[in-house]
């Protein structure tokens, strides 16, 4: 076991329960591998198919990670064999949530048997804290996206003091104790809250996010104080719970087994065909050198002047990493391709112009200099390893306090 602030005579045992989505399972598992590398044990709980989709950790870490496969109960209207958001249309998410809720008894048995020191859970497990407390196990909510979006999408309504009109929600966030240029656009708000109805039943997926957030003993956030210090403090005030950043877990810190990862399906946020086309032509119009790597050669090719190209590896910049860019843009270290306020679409010309401004134009020199400076923070393995050590130390400290108070 490595030394540092997280060192303890007794290694921690953590149980993890991410939502049934690879976009949540993978970040949880990344943290599991980091804890395992530090000598702590992790019991990782999910459905059989999702567990099988996770690339195997390096052999040196496998003794520290126990994979628990819990079969989902059969739920009417949930497609047979569906175990993940990638297996169902958005109209069926409510039934996937019902299947997850049907695991409560199984989760109780796993926790009783494994007796972890901590339970880490995701936003869909609003019932987990009550179970953990009944078993005298402290629990922590692990938030995998930036702290700022909790204040917009999940803050208690009474604290926001808004009339919840589109104009009010997309205006300056007056409920915050500090000034910020971050705000929501109409299309972002509509995409977040416009959960489609199931055509068969008329039901919509429902998640009690406030209960999930406010019921934990600790709130972990995949962020750092250098980027989101005020937002992290704001979260602590909103939910009256200690908020611990675990760092951004940079690519250099992520533990990879390339051979295993190549055997497993990739996951990403997809663009519409129109957006993909505009992105491709925008990159070409920028007249900048680029490399477009198709992941799988099958239907859906995009024909461009330089050959056959399909889904680009930089899709994440427009999708999964989007929330992080708002904070980075506020610090003038990133810029976003202009989008339509109403539907979020963008054009090839706006892609080309943004790329040239960020990479080569003289007017973008300040942006590039700022980005170089903040890259020292994001690229500092020492800094982000310290975040991991500090977060482990917080778990150890709380466990000691908890055990002495029983």
β-partners of residue 14 are 42, 118
Burial degree of 211 (CB within 10 A; 0-12, 13-18, 19+): middle
- DSSP string covering 254-309, please? S---HHHHTTS----PPPPHHHHHHHHHHHHHTT-------SS-SS--EEETTEEE
CA 389, CA 65: separation in Å to the nearest integer? 19
Active-site residue, from 122, 217, 275, 385: 122
CA 157, CA 186: separation in Å to the nearest integer? 18
Phi, psi of 25 (to 5 degrees): -60, -45
Quote the tokens at residue 301.
């090719």
β-partners of residue 43 are 15, 66
β-partners of residue 219 are 141, 243
Distances (CA, A) of 87 to 41, 175, 195, 270, 310: 30, 38, 17, 15, 22
Active-site residue, from 24, 143, 281, 384: 24
CA 222, CA 233: separation in Å to the nearest integer? 14
CA 168, CA 303: separation in Å to the nearest integer? 43
Query: Which one-letter DSSP state was computed for residue 3?
Result: -
Quote the tokens at residue 83.
């175990």
Residue 217 annotated among the catalytic residues of the structure: no
CA 161, CA 168: separation in Å to the nearest integer? 10
Quote the tokens at residue 13.
């045992």
Burial degree of 324 (CB within 10 A; 0-12, 13-18, 19+): buried
Q: Is 307 left (phi over 0), alpha (psi -120 to 50) or beta?
A: left
As a 3-state breakdown, the chain gives helix, strand, coil percent values, each rounded to 5, of 45, 10, 45
Residue 384 annotated among the catalytic residues of the structure: no
Q: What is the set of active-site residues?
A: 24, 122
């Amino acid at each position: 076991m490595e030394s540092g602030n997280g060192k303890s005579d007794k290694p921690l045992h953590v149980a993890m329960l991410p939502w049934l989505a690879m976009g949540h399972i993978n970040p949880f598992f990344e943290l599991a591998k980091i804890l395992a590398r530090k000598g702590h044990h992790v019991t990782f709980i999910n459905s059989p198919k999702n567990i099988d989709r996770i690339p195997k950790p390096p052999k040196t870490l496998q003794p520290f990670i126990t994979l628990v496969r819990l079969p989902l109960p059969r739920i009417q209207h949930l497609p047979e064999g569906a175990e993940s958001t990638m297996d169902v249309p958005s109209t069926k998410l409510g039934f996937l949530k019902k299947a997850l809720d049907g695991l409560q008894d199984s989760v109780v048995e796993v926790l009783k048997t494994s007796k972890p020191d901590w339970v880490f859970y995701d936003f869909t497990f609003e019932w987990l804290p009550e179970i953990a407390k009944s078993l005298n196990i402290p629990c922590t909510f692990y938030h995998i996206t930036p702290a700022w979006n909790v204040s917009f999408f999940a803050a208690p309504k009474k604290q926001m003091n808004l009339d919840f009109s589109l104009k009010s929600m997309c205006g300056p966030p007056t409920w915050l104790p500090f000034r910020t240029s971050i705000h929501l656009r109409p299309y972002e708000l509509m995409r977040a809250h416009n959960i489609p109805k199931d055509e068969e039943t008329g039901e919509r997926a429902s998640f009690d996010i406030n209960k999930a957030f406010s019921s934990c003993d600790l709130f972990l956030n995949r962020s750092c104080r250098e980027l989101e210090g005020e937002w992290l403090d704001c979260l602590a005030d909103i939910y009256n719970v200690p908020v611990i950043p675990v760092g951004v877990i940079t690519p250099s810190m992520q533990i990879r087994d390339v051979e295993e990862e190549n055997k497993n399906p990739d996951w990403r946020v997809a663009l519409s065909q129109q957006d993909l086309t505009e992105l491709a032509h925008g990159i070409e119009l920028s007249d900048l050198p680029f490399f477009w790597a198709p992941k799988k050669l099958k239907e859906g090719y995009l024909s461009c002047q330089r050959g056959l190209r399909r889904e680009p590896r930089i899709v994440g910049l427009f999708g999964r990493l989007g929330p992080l860019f708002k904070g980075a843009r506020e610090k003038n270290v990133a810029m976003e391709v202009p989008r339509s306020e109403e539907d979020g679409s963008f054009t090839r010309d706006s892609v080309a112009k943004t790329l040239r401004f960020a990479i080569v134009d003289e007017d973008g020199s300040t942006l590039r200099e700022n980005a170089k400076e903040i890259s020292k923070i994001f690229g500092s393995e020492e800094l982000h390893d310290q975040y991991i050590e500090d977060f482990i130390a917080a778990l150890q400290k709380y466990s000691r306090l908890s055990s002495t108070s029983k």
